[in-house]
A and B are shown apart, each in its own frame.
Chain A
């Protein structure tokens, strides 16, 4: 977690708590600070408190406790229209009774910007999102992707330093969504704006963000750059939530030379990297990514512990092969292998031995 008082932080949550009913905390002791220009994603399942955090930042919800600071200024008591934060809503919230140009011009009008300047800005921002010819249309006449672009343009047109996005790509189909991910990322980088992005789509979070905050149960479980989040999850929730993951349960037998030897409940001994375990006898849940599992004995070190596995299912997925195994009594152990010319296709029913580098297998909390 981030320090609560970071110098030069642009957006800062300091011990923020939020409750709607006075009985349950939706956000529990949130501390977060982000520098100017960062693209930060709040990722988490629904009900994890991420959208509430965004709404508190935008000013539509008040924090029950704690301070939210923007550029060093506490903004708890500043109404939303004075915060100067751009926002892209989940359903775009384009005003249906106005044309695209009128929609974009609205934030400038309420800022009393002269007409000529307004028109120039609207034109500029429409071109930036490649919607130059659509100024006269109504939102209902646009496709989902086009509406998304207009919503983005509207959040950018008044040149806010901070732009919040609440699951902006949720309603788009897969291909368009992937395209827009890069588009948003590109525009944000070009303009140098700070972005807080909320999503429950982990791929989106990993591809777009500088840092990702994984929310669960009103807390940030881990705040890290995407690669760190994927490769070194702090706890079993993050490991489960980000990417595909195999888990095995067991008891730590010993920790020696930075390697934990774990006795699995289903039988078998494995080498792990101790993350949340400190001493022998502790229960642990170990996590290993499917693409880091090795079944070619030649590539494993000679003294590595291996597990016996039975191939249950082989699925051809084009770029990769996905093989389901029975390992230590569990039938949902997955391995992924690249579709290379020399790659082995495992036959269902065959017995193999699997292993991994100790660093790739993380012994986490039980």
Chain B
């Protein structure tokens, strides 16, 4: 082992000598670290937890006092004792009756019903109705409960209650992939007319890919031009490229609405010049075309900037050298220039793709029905249907897809090759 002149181990001496600088460096990054933990890692963890947590049917929280009370405990016990596929017998209905009484006291039948309603629409009212009459229920409970509503005998309702009564579930993920538990507990596709999410995921990926490719083809020449023009002109171009950045996203999107709508600037111009008959106005908005056009425009700078920064670092003498060696300008571009821009292409494509996969406002405004992306549905579940768990599951799948992509990129190109600017 190497030692210092004083006899101390060299590694130890080095660590000691650097410890002060390391401590100071750590203190400098501490605020950012704390900020990221609080504002980023913690919420993402919460979201991932929400996507598997299943407390709607197991715990009732009184928001006034903050006290959490377990609910549906009797039924949970019965589910535990009786395996999947057992027909609910008198004891099961007795347990249900006892639990309904608890719900009534806690004023929580709505919450439990909502949870089951996610799986089986229309069942919320069954819970509120049954809880209202819980005191009047008498043995035999099976008959008296089925008397209230014959849907209580529905096996799929019992399957829904079974899955809802465990604290952790993958059902939201199943739902997010257009799948559900069958009555016997196996996984099956939901009926075709209710399949939305897989199609939407596919559409999101395809549209994002399309936007990325279009951005690449638009950005490459302009970035090249900026990298080769003299400073003054390239600065002007840079300002033009960045101009959209300085305008509000909403303003940009609404301008596209003005341009693209069927009575809009573009259609009017084409009709006025006779390219288009008045009755043949092209529908460029409230569909995928609108989403792609507006998002390409908005995300273009994210492709231009990494490309420009990489290209401006490529010395023009590389291409000159290739030309002097006998390469045509096309060969010089293909073999020498283009390979050196790959880190910029990778960075730009990754940026644009990841941003567009999670894009919300623009598709919401110009997308119409078939230009919606998965983020619009996540927002829908966050704000309208209030099924946060499903929203979280959808978001988690999106996050997983992006991470997968990132991993693939690392394997294929190498993340240390990424040049963002």
Collect the chain B residues with CB atoms within 8 Å of residue A56's CB.
Answer: none
Tally of B interface residues using CB under 8 Å: 19
Most buried by A among B317, B321, B327: B321
B322's contact among A83, A90, A106, by CB below 8 Å, is which? Answer: A106
Collect the chain B residues with CB atoms within 8 Å of residue A164's CB.
Answer: 324
Any chain A CB within 8 A of the CB of B83? no
> Judging by beta carbons under 8 Å apart, are B318 and A110 in contact?
no
B324's contact among A80, A90, A97, by CB below 8 Å, is which? Answer: A80
Given contacts A95-B336, A97-B340, A106-B335, contact A86 B318 (CB under 8 A): no
Convert B383-401 into 0s and 1s, putting 1 for each residue whose CB lies closer than 8 angstroms to a CB of A: 0000000000000000000
Most buried by B among A85, A106, A154: A106
> Judging by beta carbons under 8 Å apart, are B340 and A85 in contact?
no
Collect the chain B residues with CB atoms within 8 Å of residue A81's CB.
Answer: 323-329, 332
Q: Smallest Cβ distance from B228 to chain A, in angstroms?
A: 13
Q: CA–CA, A129 to B332, complex, Å?
A: 25
- Across the two chains, which residue of chain A brings its CB closest to B335? A106
- Across the two chains, which residue of chain A brings its CB closest to B340? A97
Collect the chain A residues with CB atoms within 8 Å of residue B327's CB.
Answer: 81, 106-107, 110
B325's contact among A60, A90, A158, by CB below 8 Å, is which? Answer: A158
> Judging by beta carbons under 8 Å apart, are A93 and B340 in contact?
no
> Judging by beta carbons under 8 Å apart, are B335 and A85 in contact?
no
Q: Smallest Cβ distance from B387 to chain A, in angstroms?
A: 50
> Judging by beta carbons under 8 Å apart, are B328 and A93 in contact?
no
> Judging by beta carbons under 8 Å apart, are A110 and B324 in contact?
no
Convert B307-326 into 0s and 1s, putting 1 for each residue whose CB lies closer than 8 angstroms to a CB of A: 00000000101101111111
Tally of A interface residues using CB under 8 Å: 26
> Judging by beta carbons under 8 Å apart, are B317 and A80 in contact?
no
- Majority secondary structure of chain A interface residues (helix, strand, loop or mixed): loop
Any chain A CB within 8 A of the CB of B339? yes
Any chain A CB within 8 A of the CB of B3? no
Convert A49-72 into 0s and 1s, putting 1 for each residue whose CB lies closer than 8 angstroms to a CB of B: 000000000111000000000000
Any chain A CB within 8 A of the CB of B331? yes
Q: CA–CA, A175 to B327, complex, Å?
A: 35
A80's contact among B323, B339, B340, by CB below 8 Å, is which? Answer: B323
> Judging by beta carbons under 8 Å apart, are B321 and A89 in contact?
yes
- Across the two chains, which residue of chain A brings its CB closest to B327? A110
> Judging by beta carbons under 8 Å apart, are A93 and B317 in contact?
yes
Q: CA–CA, A215 to B326, complex, Å?
A: 29
- Majority secondary structure of chain B interface residues (helix, strand, loop or mixed): helix
> Judging by beta carbons under 8 Å apart, are B321 and A93 in contact?
yes
Q: CA–CA, A95 to B339, complex, Å?
A: 10
Convert A75-99 into 0s and 1s, putting 1 for each residue whose CB lies closer than 8 angstroms to a CB of B: 0000111111111011101011100
Q: CA–CA, A90 to B323, complex, Å?
A: 16
Any chain B CB within 8 A of the CB of A174? no
Q: CA–CA, A87 to B317, complex, Å?
A: 11
Q: Smallest Cβ distance from A164 to chain B, in angstroms?
A: 8
Given contacts A91-B315, A93-B315, contact A110 B325 (CB under 8 A): yes
Any chain B CB within 8 A of the CB of A111? yes
Collect the chain A residues with CB atoms within 8 Å of residue B332's CB.
Answer: 81
- Across the two chains, which residue of chain B brings its CB closest to A89? B317
Given contacts A96-B340, A97-B339, A97-B340, contact A60 B320 (CB under 8 A): yes
- Across the two chains, which residue of chain A brings its CB closest to B337? A95
Q: CA–CA, A87 to B325, complex, Å?
A: 8
Collect the chain B residues with CB atoms within 8 Å of residue A158's CB.
Answer: 325-326
> Judging by beta carbons under 8 Å apart, are B336 and A87 in contact?
no
Q: Smallest Cβ distance from B337 to chain A, in angstroms?
A: 10
- Across the two chains, which residue of chain A brings its CB closest to B321? A93
**For chain A residues 233-279, which have a beta carbon within 8 Å of chain B?**
none
Q: CA–CA, A85 to B324, complex, Å?
A: 6
Q: Could you give 24 example pairs across A and B, Cβ below 8 Å?
A: A80-B320, A81-B324, A81-B325, A81-B326, A81-B327, A81-B328, A81-B329, A82-B326, A84-B326, A86-B325, A87-B325, A89-B321, A91-B317, A93-B317, A95-B318, A95-B322, A106-B335, A107-B325, A110-B326, A110-B327, A110-B331, A154-B325, A158-B325, A164-B324
Known: A81-B327, A96-B340, A106-B325. 15 other contacts (CB 8 A): A58-B324, A60-B320, A79-B323, A87-B325, A89-B317, A90-B317, A91-B315, A93-B315, A93-B321, A106-B322, A106-B335, A107-B325, A110-B322, A110-B328, A110-B331
Q: Which residues of A contact B (CB under 8 A)?
A: 58-60, 79-87, 89-91, 93, 95-97, 106-107, 110-111, 154, 158, 164
Closest 6 CB pairs of A and B: A107-B325, A93-B321, A93-B317, A87-B324, A80-B323, A110-B327
